[in-house]
Amino acid sequence: MKIDILTLFPDMFQSVFTESIIKRAQEKSIVEINIHDFRVFSKDKHHKVDDTPYGGGEGMVLTCQPIFDCVNSLKTENSMVILLTPDGKTYKQQMAYDLSQKKHLILICGHYEGFDERIRSLADLELSIGDYILTGGEYAAMIVVDSITRLLKGVIEEESHLKESFNNNLLDYPTYTKPRIYNNMEVPEVLISGDHKKIEEYRLKESIRKTKERRPDLLEENIVQKESR
């Protein structure tokens, strides 16, 4: 997979993409991640990429030309362009799975008070990582890239992410490690029983219990999906 990211702050990505799992995925050539400062595409003599909004208002707005030219220089028939914006579709785990099947993603990071509305015409998909406002789309891009990269074949064991939270709209079950007793808190007996069937039943029940307590909306989604099917 190839991922191109458009940003005004390329240095923000250096420490994130040169550590841990994402670093190893790049070293194995499973994913190629390129960061592009779209300021270099500006035709303004001062390399401006923003201007005041028509109709007045606070702040500065990203202009069309640098972003259009940058995207067009990268786009191919296999590309999917994603605009990271607070009013986009809410990002969920199933979307990460779907995007991990693509060959080429182009992520556009917004900044300042927003972007010229015509930039939306470039996007095949608009994404939001939640109902809150960030200083820019860079953090959202990091989250999207991380969540997709770990799903690519050869990055981590497939079983690891198949049993994680949000698969089948359930939160992950509780996990424990040594010591068996710590501060008078003991590991559930079933987990050391060696009975794999009972362990799987316990984990499923705990996933349902945890989801019911913390995210009942996920269970409601499950019901709606089953009724729809």
pLDDT at 59: 87
Q: Find, among 30, 64, 29, the residue nearest to 44 by Cα.
A: 64
| Residue whose pair of structure tokens reads 């939160």 in the numeric block | 171
Residue 210 belongs to domain spanning: 165-228
Q: Is the peptide bond before 179 cis (omega within 30 degrees of 0)?
A: yes
Contacts of 103 (CB under 8 A, 6+ apart): 1, 2, 78
| Residue whose pair of structure tokens reads 């997979």 in the numeric block | 1
- Distance CA(79)–CA(82), nearest Å, equals 10
Residue 31 lies in a domain: yes
Q: Find, among 114, 155, 142, the residue nearest to 35 by Cα.
A: 142
Query: Which structure tokens are listed for 141?
Result: 């891009």
Burial label for 79, CB within 10 Å (0-12, 13-18, 19+), is middle
Final residue belonging to a domain, choices 117, 149, 181: 149
Give the count of domains, the chain. 2
Burial label for 50, CB within 10 Å (0-12, 13-18, 19+), is buried
pLDDT at 220: 81
Same domain as 203, residue 94:
no
- Altogether, the residues listed in the chain come to a count of 229
Q: How far is CA 167 from the centre of its chain?
A: 15
Residue 155 lies in a domain: no
CATH of the domain at 196: 1.10.1270.20
Final residue belonging to a domain, choices 98, 114, 149: 149
Burial label for 39, CB within 10 Å (0-12, 13-18, 19+), is middle
Same domain as 88, residue 46:
yes
- Distance CA(71)–CA(106), nearest Å, equals 8
Same domain as 125, residue 81:
yes
Same domain as 178, residue 140:
no
Contact between residue 123 and residue 83 where contact means Cβ atoms under 8 Å apart: yes
Final residue belonging to a domain, choices 149, 178, 212: 149
CATH of the domain at 49: 3.40.1280.10
Same domain as 178, residue 119:
no
- How confident is the prediction along the chain (229 residues), in pLDDT tens digits per residue? 999 999 999 999 999 999 999 999 999 999 999 999 999 999 999 999 999 999 988 889 999 999 999 999 999 999 999 999 999 999 999 999 999 999 999 999 987 668 999 999 999 999 999 998 888 999 999 999 999 999 999 999 776 555 555 567 788 899 999 999 999 999 999 999 999 999 999 999 999 999 999 999 888 876 656 555 4
Residue 154 lies in a domain: no
Residue 97 lies in a domain: yes
Q: What is the pTM of this model?
A: 0.83
